[in-house]
């Protein structure tokens, strides 16, 4: 072996640094914010966890086939590759600097080596915000060069980082890798062991392992656990000069795929093998021409449980033109606020949802792709005219936790929604999220966290966090009471909107609004706030940088800012 990477050709057995060196051209590895910089998380020691000096992420510059490149390698051995404030800022900051170079005419490639469980629960909303910023950077970078993702380790790629993978231009996997939004233990906690037995490793790999993901077209290359083969696969993406269309932008193709399913009448659970036969890898983009009529969508809510999302959508869009979305659980309407044209979108409960794990307002398979379709149609309709604002009304208790959802790739559905919002924002559409209820985990990443501006009601029923307390307690092996104690000292782990507001991501918090029976005055106050946010977004950069420029962020996310500053100093 020409490189000093150890005595094995196995990629899995290499450390995060060795993996980065293996992918970059030989002799050009230069680490940014290496362990000697001592950039370790201050949020772990207070919880009895020994921090790591690089916070579990290796960011390096070098070249790939002689072209400038930045590579990020997540160390799955530290806290399961969880993304916290420092590690998240390293990933987002490195991608943002690569974007800056590309914008300046310096072509810079980006590769992610992901072995991660998603947000580090001990840091909660720090990780959630960082992952949203990672998503934004990937979508922006794709306009210049493909962004490549490698999933090879035994830990796999989960949570919000699975959405990041779904946003990438190309995904390379080994048989040992897994790509899945919700961890098996979380699904078992939320839906019961009958839904998924977290101990059934054979089933789990058969539904989300590299071989299955490649067979159904959710990964581009299946490679052996060999560092040279993985290195060559990464180079192969860039040697193909044709543009790579990310899956998250292939909305028509995946809507067509979902139209082939009939889960209502299925007498037996869909198996991984049956899905291979149904989808395979040879399907082609095809417009799903069957959209539910407006009348059908309006009637779908009869006898269903109400939700804040539905209440505020109905009040804000009264007498305005409804936009057919193809599913009763996604509502959309084109409205006017003053002189502004606005497309409003909400996810609401649907007792008849064909995917039973998405009947209470969760973002599921249909919801993610239909949101994406609705947003992208607005972008297409406005490409030669003034860009309308897009308002995401957020009341989502989380993503759908279920076997079928993971088998069919709910991570890709959420990626599609996040991609559409980010694409609209970059195209000049002001995107505003109005949080009126729950804003949880992957659902919030898909529907709300790519907004230019976020407005939230100041109400006890507004909750922002990574997952339910019960699931968080199970994953972190702590009692719920311990989580509550931690929230008193680390605001990012709390669930209330006031604590979330201290992180600086909110544009405005509205007080005195009745969340269940809003008055005419309440609606006028919300409309006024939306107009102010839209005007502010139109006069500001189209990225998410404003979240780190607020007064609150200067204090509460000072480390996120410091990491970016240090990265910029070491970049050239």
Q: Which of 341, 334, 309, 340 is nearest to 320 (CA)?
A: 334
At residue 314, the pLDDT reads: 95
CA distances from 525 to 12, 183, 460, 497 (A): 55, 40, 19, 19
Residue 531 token pair: 């107009």
Give the model's pLDDT for residue 197: 95
Residue 10 tokens, joined: 């196995």
HSE (side-chain half, CA atoms, 13 Å) at 426: 17
> Which token pair is 572?
């050239």
Q: Which of 304, 309, 500 is nearest to 396 (CA)?
A: 309
Q: Is 183 helix (H, G, I), strand (E, B) or coil?
A: coil
What are 23's two structure tokens? 């992918």
CB-based contact 301:310 (threshold 8 Å): yes
Copy the structure tokens of residue 565.
């500053």
Task: Give the distance between the most distant pair of CA atoms in the chain.
Answer: 73
Give the whole-angstrom CA distance, residue 371 versus residue 364.
Answer: 11
Q: How much is the pLDDT for 153?
A: 87
Show the DSSP H helices in 240-360 as ranges: 251-259, 272-278, 294-299, 308-316
Write down the residue that tokens 């979240």 correspond to.
Answer: 547
464 and 500 Cβ atoms separated by less than 8 Å? yes
Question: Please, is 536 exposed, middle or buried when counting C-beta atoms within 10 Å of its C-beta (0-12, 13-18, 19+)?
Answer: middle
CB 164 within 8 A of CB 134: yes
CA–CA gap between residue 156 and residue 467 (Å, rounded): 19
What are the structure tokens assigned to 525, written together?
Answer: 């106050």
Token pair 């170079």: residue: 101
Pair 449, 433: CB distance under 8 Å: yes
Helix (H), strand (E) at residue 534: helix 520-538
Q: What's phi and psi for 533, nearest 5 deg?
A: -65, -40
Q: Are 139 and 102 in contact (CB under 8 A)?
A: no
Q: Give me the tens of pLDDT residue by residue for the chain, a chain 572 residues long.
A: 455 555 579 999 999 999 999 999 999 999 999 999 889 999 999 888 999 999 999 999 999 999 999 999 999 999 999 999 999 999 999 999 999 999 999 999 999 999 999 999 999 999 999 999 999 999 999 999 999 999 998 899 999 999 999 999 999 999 999 999 999 999 999 999 999 999 999 999 999 999 999 999 999 999 999 999 999 999 999 998 655 679 999 999 999 999 888 654 455 789 999 999 888 755 544 333 333 333 333 334 444 578 999 999 999 998 788 999 999 999 999 999 999 999 999 999 999 999 999 999 999 999 999 999 999 999 999 999 999 999 999 999 999 999 999 999 999 999 999 999 999 999 999 999 999 999 999 999 999 999 999 999 999 999 999 888 888 877 777 888 888 888 888 889 999 999 999 999 999 999 999 999 999 999 999 999 999 999 999 999 999 999 999 999 999 999 999 999 999 999 99
List of residues 6+ apart from 456 with CB closer than 8 A: 434, 435, 436, 439, 462, 464, 497, 500, 501, 506, 508, 509, 510
Torsion 427-428-433-434 (CA) sign: negative
* φ, ψ of residue 192 in degrees (nearest 5): 100, 155
d(CA 34, CA 53): 8
H or E stretch covering 563: helix 558-571
The residue with tokens 């990629």 is 11
Residue with tokens 């604002």: 389
Tokens of 344: 């409003």
Distances (CA, A) of 529 to 164, 280, 389, 523: 31, 47, 13, 10
Count Cβ neighbours within 10 Å for each residue of 11-50 and write b for 16 or more, e otherwise: bbebebbbbbbbbbbeeebebbbbeeeebbbebbeebeee
Predicted pLDDT of residue 240: 83
Specify whether the CB–CB gap between 163 and 443 falls below 8 A.
no
Query: CA 83 to CA 89: how far, in whole Å?
Result: 9
Q: Give the sign of the dihedral formed by CA 86, CA 32, CA 165, CA 205.
A: negative
In angstroms, what CA-CA distances link 203 with 224, 271, 409?
21, 10, 15
Contact assessment for residue 400 and residue 357, using Cβ atoms and an 8 Å cutoff: yes
pLDDT score, position 475: 77
Q: How far is CA 330 from CA 71, 295, 325, 447, 559, in A?
A: 37, 14, 6, 11, 37
Rounded Cα gap, residues 546 and 456, in angstroms:
16
- The DSSP result for 484-496, as a single string, is HHHHHH-GGG--B
Report pTM.
0.94
- pLDDT per residue over 1-27, tens digit each? 455 555 579 999 999 999 999 999 999
116: β partners = 157
CB-side exposure of 193: number of CA atoms within 13 Å?
4
What are residue 20's phi and psi, to 5 degrees?
A: -60, -45
Q: For residues 520 and 410, what is the distance between their CA atoms, to the nearest angstrom? A: 38
Q: Which domains does the chain have, with CATH numbers?
A: 16-179+219-250 (3.90.226.10), 289-534 (3.90.226.10)
User: CA–CA separation, 562 vs 568, rounded Å?
Assistant: 10
């Amino acid at each position: 072996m020409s490189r000093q990477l150890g005595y094995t050709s196995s990629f899995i057995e290499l450390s995060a640094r060795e993996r980065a060196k293996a992918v970059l051209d030989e002799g050009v590895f230069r680490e940014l914010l290496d362990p000697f910089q001592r950039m370790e998380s201050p949020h772990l020691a207070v919880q009895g966890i020994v921090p790591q000096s690089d916070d579990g992420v290796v960011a390096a510059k070098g070249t790939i086939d002689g072209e400038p490149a930045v590579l990020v390698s997540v160390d799955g051995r530290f806290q399961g590759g969880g993304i916290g404030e420092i590690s998240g800022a390293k990933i987002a900051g490195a991608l943002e600097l690569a974007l800056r170079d590309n914008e300046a005419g310096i072509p810079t490639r980006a590769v992610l080596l992901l072995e991660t469980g998603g947000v580090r629960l001990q840091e909660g909303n720090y990780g959630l915000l960082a992952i949203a910023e990672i998503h934004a950077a990937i979508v922006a970078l794709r306009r210049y060069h493909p962004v490549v993702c490698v999933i090879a380790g035994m830990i796999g790629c989960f949570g919000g980082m699975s959405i990041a993978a779904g946003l990438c231009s190309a995904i390379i996997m080994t048989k040992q890798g897994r790509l899945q939004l919700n961890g098996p233990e979380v699904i078992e906690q939320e839906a019961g062991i009958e839904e998924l037995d977290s101990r059934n490793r054979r089933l789990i790999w058969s539904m989300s392992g590299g071989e299955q993901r490649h067979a159904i077209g959710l990964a581009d290359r299946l490679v052996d656990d060999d560092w040279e083969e993985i290195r060559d696969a990464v180079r192969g993406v860039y040697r193909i000069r044709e543009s790579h269309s990310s899956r998250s932008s292939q909305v028509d193709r995946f809507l067509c795929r979902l139209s082939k399913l009939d889960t209502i009448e299925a007498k037996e659970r869909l198996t991984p093998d049956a899905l291979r036969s149904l989808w395979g890898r040879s399907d082609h983009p095809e417009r799903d021409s069957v959209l539910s009529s407006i009348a059908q969508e309006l009637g779908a809510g009869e006898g269903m449980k109400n939700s804040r999302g539905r209440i505020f959508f109905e009040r804000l869009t009264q007498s305005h033109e409804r936009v057919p979305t193809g599913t009763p659980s996604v509502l959309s309407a084109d409205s006017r606020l003053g002189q502004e044209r606005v497309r409003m979108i909400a996810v609401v409960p649907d007792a008849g949802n064909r995917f039973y794990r998405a009947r209470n307002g969760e973002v599921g398979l249909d919801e993610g792709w239909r949101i994406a379709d609705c947003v992208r149609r607005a972008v297409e309709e406005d490409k030669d005219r003034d860009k309308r604002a897009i308002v995401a009304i957020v009341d989502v208790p989380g993503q759908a936790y279920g076997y079928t959802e993971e088998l069919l790739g709910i991570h890709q559905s959420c990626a599609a929604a996040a991609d559409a919002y980010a694409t609209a924002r970059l195209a000049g559409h002001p995107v505003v999220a109005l949080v009126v209820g729950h804003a949880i985990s992957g659902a919030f990443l898909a529907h709300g966290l790519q907004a230019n501006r976020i407005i939230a009601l100041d109400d006890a029923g507004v909750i922002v966090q990574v997952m339910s307390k019960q699931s968080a307690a199970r994953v972190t092996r702590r009692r719920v009471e311990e989580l509550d104690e931690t929230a008193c000292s680390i605001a990012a782990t709390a669930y209330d909107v006031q604590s979330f507001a201290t992180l600086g991501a909110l544009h405005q918090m509205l007080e005195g609004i009745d969340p269940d029976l809003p008055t005419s005055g309440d609606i006028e106050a919300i409309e006024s706030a939306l107009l102010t946010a839209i005007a502010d977004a139109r006069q500001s950069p189209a990225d998410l940088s404003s979240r780190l420029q607020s007064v609150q962020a200067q204090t509460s996310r000072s480390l996120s800012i410091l990491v970016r500053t240090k990265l910029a100093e070491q970049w050239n």
